[in-house]
Chains A and B, each alone.
Chain A
Amino acid sequence: MSKIKAGIVTFLGTNCERDTKYALESLGWTAEYIWQDDIINKQYDVIFLPGGFSYGDHISSGRIAKLSNAVKSLPVGKTMIVGICNGFQILCESKLLSGVLTHNENMKFISKVVSLDFFCETIKIPIAHHQGNFTYSQKNGLKTDEKIIMKYKENVNGSDDNIAGIYNIKEKIIGMMPHPERAVFKELGLTDGKKIFEFIKNEI
């Protein structure tokens, strides 16, 4: 099989694009950056919206980035799209995924390694966010095609149903607050992020 080709969308304020690129390349994928103002018309196997603080998180996390050319031209339904942390916030603000990431229940920035339920397995992945409290419309809940793929073992931020990540299977859109790219290299002490990238690879 040829190498998986990934695009990584970067915005003013993104800060996890290099970690994501290094992590993907260490797994044998190829990766290139896509600037926020670009209209996406190249072919990718997967497009990542990485973590960071797009537009300084002003108004609310992801609220302004959703208006960018890159987000508006995401090939929804044609290419796998993965939002990590700020990327997840952008996908929810764009209504490409259900719910919204609002302020953590303790109103503090949380940066720690957490245990997650991930397909009948417990994995350890870092989180780092101020708005990671996943809240969905009580009336509508998740869409029919959306599945919860990741839950916090302990609810660290007040998320509804301990949700840490969801997946729209039909549109092939994944959103997660944990940072798998920070758990790939053994030098960093954690390698469970590889399991998430392996899952993404299998879903492409």
Chain B
Amino acid sequence: MNTKKFKAIITVKIKPTIKDIKTITLKEAVSDLLEVKNFNCSIDTQYNLTYEAEDMKKAKAIAQMISDEILSNSVIENYDISMEEIHE
């Protein structure tokens, strides 16, 4: 069976309703110490994956499965997936 190579960039974010201490600390430090006005931020985790799959649909399903099973926990986190086929 022919497979193609894909790249998935998965960004895991803490849900806005969850208290994220790192983000709060960064926001307060930049606002108070560096005096940047109306500063907002989020601290996300990005994973860059490459793998083979039959087509884009199946490649995306693999990225979702990895995100659901290992890279995120739906109680506190959301994730975004950006996919592209790699042509070598």
Give every chain B residue within 8 A of A107 (Cβ-Cβ).
Answer: 21-22
Chain B 1-22, CB-CB to A under 8 Å as 1, else 0, gives 0000000000000000111011
Would you give the shortest CB distance from B8 to chain A, in whole angstroms? 16
Q: Is B73 on the interface with A (CB-CB < 8 A)?
A: yes
A63:B21 contact, CB within 8 angstroms: no
In the complex, A35 Cα to B5 Cα: how many Å?
36
When the two chains form their complex, are residues B70 and A64 in contact, meaning their CB atoms are under 8 A apart?
yes
Contact B17 A138 (CB under 8 A): yes
A13 to chain B, nearest CB (A): 16
| A63 & B73 in contact (Cβ 8 Å cutoff) | yes
Do A59 and B18 touch across chains, with their CB atoms under 8 A apart? Answer: no
List of B residues within 8 angstroms of A59 by Cβ = 70-71
Query: How many positions in chain B have a CB within 8 Å of any CB in the partner chain?
Result: 11
* Cβ of A67 under 8 Å from chain B: yes
A93 interface residue per 8 A CB criterion: yes
Q: How many A-B residue contacts, CB cutoff 8 Å?
A: 32
Contact with B along A48-91 (1 / 0, CB 8 A): 00000000000110011001000000000000000000000000
Cα distance, A105 to B20, chains bound together (Å):
9
Q: Considering only CB atoms and an 8 Å cut-off, how many residues of chain A contact the other chain?
A: 20
Chain B 65-76 per-residue mask, 1 if CB under 8 angstroms from chain A, else 0: 000011101011
- Interface flags for B33-47 (1: CB within 8 Å of A; 0: not) read 000000000000000
| Cβ contact within 8 Å between A158 and B69 | no
Say yes or no: A136 contacts B75, CB within 8 Å. Answer: yes
Chain A residues 167-197 with CB under 8 Å of chain B are none
By a CB distance below 8 angstroms, the chain A residues around B71 are 59
- Chain A positions near chain B (C-beta within 8 angstroms): 59-60, 63-64, 67, 92-93, 98-100, 102-103, 105-107, 135-138, 158
The 8 closest A-B pairs by CB, nearest first: A100-B75, A100-B73, A137-B75, A100-B76, A138-B17, A107-B21, A59-B70, A63-B70
Contacts A63-B70, A92-B75, A100-B76 aside, 20 further interface pairs with beta carbons under 8 A come to: A59-B71, A60-B73, A63-B73, A67-B69, A98-B75, A99-B75, A100-B75, A102-B18, A102-B76, A103-B21, A105-B19, A106-B21, A107-B21, A107-B22, A135-B18, A135-B19, A135-B75, A135-B76, A158-B19, A158-B21
